[in-house]
Every structure is written in C-alpha cells, then in structure tokens.
C-alpha cells in the first residue's frame, strides 16, 4: 500500500506542478534561465541496474535492493495518464505536457524514485528551477493534504545534485501517524523541467538515495 501511495504522491506532484505553472497570476515571477542541455530530446533508458537520460544529463545506478519499473509498465502508466492508444505513444511522448520517464521501488516496499518531465510552453519557458517550485508550493501542500497527509511542511532551497547546484523542495508529513519524507529536485533542460522525486517512509533517507544520481 505504501509503495503505491508513494508513486501516487510523485505523480500528483508532477501534475500539481503542471496545473500551477499555467496560472497567469504567477508569470511575473519568471526569470530567464539558459538551458544546460545540449542534447536533442529523448527519453531515458534502463540497462540492468542503471538508468541513463542523456538529454537530462543524468544517470542513476541502483543496487539489488531496488527494482526499476519496466518499459511496458512506464508506458501503461503514461498511456493511462494521457488517455492514449498504443499507436499514438511514440509521437505523443514528444508532445506530452507531462510524462513519467523512470520509476523504481525499494525492496522495503516503501521507498520510491520517480523521474518526470514537464514540457514548458509560452512564458513558462522563462521559469527558473526555483520559481517553478515556489509557484507550486501551496498547491502541492493542498494536494498532499487531500490525500490524508497531515503536518505537511515544504522547504525550498538549492543543493548539489549530479555535479551541479539545483533547486529542490524538501517535504515532510505524516500519514496515519507514520512519518513521510519526500524530496524533489528540478533540472531545467531546454524547454523541459525534469523533476526527480524520492519518497521514503519512517526514516528520511532521501539525500542518500539521491546520491545514486550522477552526471551522464
């Protein structure tokens, strides 16, 4: 149950970000930011225990305690979210406003990792990693509370990730009396915002898990 809830939390976070970043009221907070990506857009690939997305410039090598969702599972997740039929999938991913690129779960059935993409359009292309998170803070808190989370706190800052400084949101909450921790890291790549989400229960090991990500 906790494993599936963790994935739901991550997906809600991505779609909460999308819903909020189209709001005209926050456009004044946008700043110009040069993309760090020189790669053409492409989705990531998992080979054995390593995920690589050259477009985002990141890789993630996990030990045997972790299991990646298969390409088929990721595809079904995206098709359901976007209401697609099989024949539309490849082209639809290129045009999708949001999609999931990687999901992994720990053997404890509680800790999860998700990599999601949002395609930025219009003035949203001018958002920085920090303003992207700030703009969605209240909506994210409301979304988590609507799931039954209590004592939700969100802190936004900047820290090293995969060799460079990136903005993050650190979230703590409780669900049925159990501590829940989540950390989102944002990477702006061309016209996309990449959101890496780690969710853990009982113990906050988010930073330890994020250390599995390296530059690619």
How far apart CA 57 and CA 38 sit, in angstroms, is 9
Q: pLDDT by residue (tens digit) across 92-139?
A: 777 777 889 999 999 998 899 999 998 888 888 899 999 999 988 888
How far apart CA 161 and CA 136 sit, in angstroms, is 21
Total domain count, the chain = 1
| pTM score of the predicted model | 0.83
How far apart CA 153 and CA 40 sit, in angstroms, is 37
Considering just the CA atoms, what is the radius of gyration of the chain in Å?
Answer: 16
Is 90 in contact with 99 (CB distance < 8 Å)?
Answer: no
For residue 33, pLDDT over 50 is answered with no
Q: Where are the alpha helices (DSSP H) in the chain?
A: 2-20, 71-82, 89-95, 129-146, 206-210
The CATH number assigned to the domain holding 12 equals: 3.40.1000.10
pLDDT of residue 196: 95
Q: What percent of the chain has a predicted confidence (pLDDT) above 90? A: 51
Nearest to 114 by CA among 209, 15, 197, 18: 197
Nearest to 13 by CA among 73, 87, 100, 86: 100
**Residue 30 DSSP symbol:** -
Full domain range(s) for residue 78: 2-215
CA distances from 56 to 3, 19, 65, 202 (A): 26, 22, 25, 30
pLDDT of residue 26: 41
């Amino acid at each position: 149950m906790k494993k599936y809830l963790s994935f739901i939390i991550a997906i809600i976070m991505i779609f909460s970000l999308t819903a909020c970043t189209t709001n005209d009221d926050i456009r004044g907070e946008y700043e110009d930011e040069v993309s760090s990506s020189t790669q053409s857009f492409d989705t990531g690939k998992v080979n054995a225990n390593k995920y690589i997305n050259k477009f985002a410039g990141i890789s993630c090598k996990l030990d045997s305690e972790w299991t990646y969702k298969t390409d088929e599972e990721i595809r079904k997740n995206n098709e359901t979210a976007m209401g697609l039929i099989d024949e539309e999938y490849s082209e639809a991913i290129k045009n999708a406003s949001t999609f999931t690129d990687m999901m992994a779960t720990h053997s404890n059935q509680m800790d999860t990792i998700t990599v999601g993409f949002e395609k930025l359009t219009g003035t949203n292309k001018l958002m920085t990693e920090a303003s992207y998170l700030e703009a969605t803070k209240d909506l994210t808190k409301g979304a988590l509370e609507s799931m039954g989370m209590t004592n939700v706190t969100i802190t936004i800052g900047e820290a090293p990730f995969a060799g460079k400084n990136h903005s993050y949101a650190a979230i703590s909450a409780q669900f049925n009396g159990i501590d829940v921790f989540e950390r989102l890291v944002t990477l702006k790549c061309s016209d996309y915002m990449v959101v890496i989400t780690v969710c853990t229960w009982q113990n906050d090991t988010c930073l330890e898990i994020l250390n599995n990500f390296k530059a690619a």
